[in-house]
Amino acid sequence: MRLTVADRDAIRRRAQVLSVKPSAWARAVMLDALDSRSAKVESMEVCAGVKAVAPEPSGPAVEQLRRVGVNLNQTLRKDVAVDGDLLREVMAAVDGLRASLGDRTRT
């Protein structure tokens, strides 16, 4: 297979961004194409800091925060909260914390 000058330049630039040799990047691309379970290019991107890694969900902490969210929702629905706006702020903070722990459930 022949590559154009533009193709070779693009390969060099991508490899440079990933801090690897062009041949290493090309090999990783081909191996990923052959095996869908392989993630060699993604691994290179993570190591180079190009791609952020989503945090692994912290099961017990996320579960506790979900329970807190349920309690906050019940309090809001019963309209027994002293300050509804403050309660909504707390709920948003809990949702944000859950998301930062890797929880992907609907908020």
pLDDT digits (tens, 9 = 90+) for 24-51: 989 999 998 998 888 888 888 888 877 6
Answer yes or no: is 25 within a domain: yes
> Mean pLDDT in the chain?
82
Task: For residue 83, count CB atoms less than 10 angstroms from its CB and return exposed for 0-12, middle for 13-18, buried for 19 or more.
Answer: exposed
- 99: pLDDT strictly greater than 90: no
Q: How confident is the model at residue 22 (pLDDT cuts 50, 70, 90)?
A: very high
89 exposed, middle or buried (CB, 10 Å; 0-12, 13-18, 19+)? exposed
Residues of the domain holding 87: 59-100
* pLDDT classification of 53: cutoffs 50, 70, 90: low
Total structural domains in the chain?
2
How high is the pLDDT of residue 67? 85
9 belongs to a structural domain = yes
